[in-house]
Amino acid sequence: LRKLDPIEGIERIRFVTSHPGDMTRDILEAVGELPKVCENLHMPAQSGSDRVLERMRRQYTSEYYRGLVEMARSLVPDITIASDFIVGFPGEAEDDFEDTVSLMKDVRYQNCFIFKYSPRTGTAATELKDDVPEETKKRRNQILLDLQSEISKERNREVVGKSVEVLVEGTSKTDECKLTGRTRQNQIVVFSLPETCPPERLSRAGGSASLLGKLTNIDIVDSTDLTLFGVINEF
């Protein structure tokens, strides 16, 4: 990261992910200090239960993971954190699942990728009995999805009224008169050009061609759990 940051022509660097056991203070300090490195990390927890983490052979505890999150937020105050979780891993009891719920509530991730466990050929987990009923997996999966949706809504709502830097990626999939991009914190932003702009600038050819790949400031006016909505303020 420190070698990449000085390279001219690069505006953003995103360090995507690391196994929590490989995440170090040096990495977090680089994320916080280097101007081109984005304030966003994907740190897959997989479970909030030490018992399940041990069965997964993750080689860290919930306490260790929470410590990483605390360190990340102390070194990079504006950081957003995403994660992965698996529900219904072999042997996951209800109290194990509640530990995962507690972790999600405490950390308040920006977003999470949540999956039901299913055996995968070639993994050590196939040696374990897949003993969590499918209906239980579905129920736990939905609980986490609903919880994360509410947390994401609340976190995105905090951005409404602010101006954020967005890297323009292209035209919105649902409205070709709007453009889409991402903040440094990896939040998706859909935005329109000011009403005073000529109509041709709002078209797919006009808007995208002139702004694609550019950094621009967007005033955020609304949000959902998945998306920020705004208006460009410097066109």
pLDDT tens-digit profile of 192-211? Answer: 876 655 555 544 434 455 78
Answer with the residue of higher pLDDT: 234 or 159.
159
Q: Which residues lie closer than 8 Å to 182 by C-beta, 6 or more apart?
A: 166, 167, 169, 188, 189
Residue type present at position 158: E
Q: What percent of the chain has pLDDT over 90?
A: 81
pLDDT tens-digit profile of 58-87? Answer: 999 999 999 999 999 999 999 999 999 999
**C-beta of residue 1 within 8 angstroms of C-beta of residue 27:** yes
SS3 state of residue 158: coil
Q: Are strands 179-183 and 188-192 parallel, antiparallel or unpaired?
A: antiparallel
Answer with the residue of higher pLDDT: 235 or 190.
190
**C-beta of residue 195 within 8 angstroms of C-beta of residue 234:** no
* pLDDT score, position 227: 97
24-33, 125-134, 159-168: least confidently modelled range: 125-134
pLDDT tens-digit profile of 13-37? Answer: 999 899 999 999 999 999 999 999 9
40-42 β-sheet, strand order: 40-42, 80-87, 111-116
* pLDDT score, position 193: 76
Q: Which of 126, 124, 119, 56 is nearest to 85 (CA)?
A: 56
When pLDDT is averaged across residues 88-94 and rounded to a whole number, the result is: 98
Q: Which of 47, 76, 77 is nearest to 64 (CA)?
A: 47
Dump the DSSP string for 30-71: HHHH-TTB-SEEE---B-S-HHHHHHHT----HHHHHHHHHH
Can you list the domains of the chain with their CATH numbers? 20-157 (3.30.750.200), 163-232 (2.40.50)
Q: In whole angstroms, give the CA distance from residue 58 to residue 54.
A: 6
pLDDT tens-digit profile of 138-148? Answer: 999 999 999 99
* pLDDT score, position 233: 81
